Amino acid sequence: MYLYEIRGILNAEVIAGKSGMDREVDFAFGADLMSDVLAFVNERTVLLTGLTNPQVVRTAEMMDLTAIIYVRGKRPDAASLELAEENGITVMCTPYTLYTTSGMLFSAGLKGIDELGVVG
């Protein structure tokens, strides 16, 4: 699924990395614990989170994630957005909760990841 499709599904605002909207992702992963992201996530994944500290962007950079979507209307600070831009990470925010966001993407055909591997 392309990031521009995700933006439409989630009624999301792109707040960094607008030039990367034509990139494709294969999976979504929702977490507020970055240790879970480090343990389970692969590249070509979009991270769904409500955690807005700079560690989220650092983790996305380390794991070579395509995009971060902040849920519940949350927005990271300017330093985090600058870091995302520097690393080519697309950042969006959506008004929906993590649960609803995950369900919307899953219903649209985007696969999830769990501790046993890929689901869906």
DSSP string, 28-54: EEE-S-HHHHHHH--SSEEEEES--SH
Q: Is 29 among the domain residues?
A: yes
Q: 96: domain CATH number?
A: 3.40.1390.20
Q: Is 120 among the domain residues?
A: no
Angle of CA points 107, 94, 5, to nearest 5°: 50
Beta strand residue intervals within 52-110, DSSP E: 67-70, 90-93
DSSP state, residue 20? G
What is the average pLDDT across 44-49? 95
- Encode pLDDT of 18-30 as tens digits: 999 999 999 999 9
What pLDDT is stored for residue 119 in this prediction? 55
Q: What domain range includes position 44?
A: 3-112
Q: How many domains does the chain have?
A: 1
Helical (H) or strand (E) element with 42 = none
Q: Is 119 among the domain residues?
A: no
| pTM of the complete model | 0.92
Q: Is 106 among the domain residues?
A: yes
Q: Is 49 among the domain residues?
A: yes
